A and B are shown apart, each in its own frame.
Chain A
Amino acid sequence: AQSVTQLDSHVSVSEGTPVLLRCNYSSSYSPSLFWYVQHPNKGLQLLLKYTSAATLVKGINGFEAEFKKSETSFHLTKPSAHMSDAAEYFCVVSDLDTDKLIFGTGTRLQVFP
């Protein structure tokens, strides 16, 4: 079975400093991985996705993630945080056996001025 683990439930950074949100996955085959963002009381929006092409994936709003098979990781990064980045972020893996998405428990990002 496929699964994802988001290692931090909360991350706090100062505006202008780098962001790192960690995600490890477990999959019996080459996975497809996604990062979604959810602003308060809103739906989820796709930030980026990895589907076995380039291992470094660039997404919207300056975010990127690197697929590292040896570490089974798919960490989300951004060089410089903005106040508008404050939100909840979900790491997601596709499950081909059930044709469903498996969501992590989320990481809440706070950005301080």
Chain B
Amino acid sequence: SQTIHQWPATLVQPVGSPLSLECTVEGTSNPNLYWYRQAAGRGLQLLFYSVGIGQISSEVPQNLSASRPQDRQFILSSKKLLLSDSGFYLCAWSVGRVLNNEQFFGPGTRLTVL
């Protein structure tokens, strides 16, 4: 069966520090991978998605970046965190197009920037 892992589960970082969040998927090949951010009281905002190794599409210009060094690994990074980067970060995967296929979400990372 397929599983998706995210770590760390929680993170408290000072403003201006770097960030690296990791997501890995097991039990499937060549998944589509997604990074979302959920701010308090808001819905989900798609940040990045990837359809293959090294293929990253950015949805929102900001100080975050994403990389996909391996087929089932997706990393969210920042060189210098801002207060506004606080939120709940969710990784998700899917196979095929969104028409009929659900996205499977990881447990999330709670990031607090102080």
Residues of A in contact with B (beta carbons under 8 Å apart): 32, 34, 36, 41-46, 49, 51, 90, 94-96, 99-101, 103-106
Contact B46 A100 (CB under 8 A): yes
- 8 pairs, A vs B, C-beta closer than 8 Å: A32-B100, A34-B102, A41-B108, A42-B107, A42-B108, A43-B108, A44-B44, A96-B99
Least CB distance from B108 to A in Å reads: 5
Interface of A is mostly: strand
Measured between beta carbons, the chain A residues less than 8 angstroms from B102 are 34, 46, 49
Residue from B43, B46, B105 with most neighbouring chain A CB atoms (10 Å) = B43
A to B contact number (C-beta, < 8 Å): 51
Q: Is B12 part of the contact surface with A, judged by Cβ < 8 Å?
A: no
Q: A41-B110, A42-B108 are in contact. Are A101 and B103 (CB under 8 A)?
A: yes
Number of chain B residues close to chain A: CB under 8 A: 20
**Residue among B49, B99, B103, B106 making CB contact with A51, cutoff 8 Å:** B99
Residues of B in contact with A (beta carbons under 8 Å apart): 42-44, 46, 49, 88, 90, 92, 97-100, 102-108, 110
Contact B99 A94 (CB under 8 A): yes
Contact B43 A99 (CB under 8 A): no
Measured between beta carbons, the chain A residues less than 8 angstroms from B107 are 42-43
A106 to B99, CA, bound (A): 21
A42 to B43, CA, bound (A): 14
Measured between beta carbons, the chain B residues less than 8 angstroms from A103 are 43-44
Q: A44-B105, A105-B42, A105-B43 are in contact. Are A99 and B98 (CB under 8 A)?
A: yes
Q: A51-B100, A103-B43 are in contact. List 12 more A-B contacts (CB 8 A).
A: A32-B98, A41-B110, A42-B107, A44-B92, A46-B102, A49-B100, A51-B99, A94-B99, A100-B46, A100-B98, A101-B46, A101-B98
Contact B43 A104 (CB under 8 A): yes
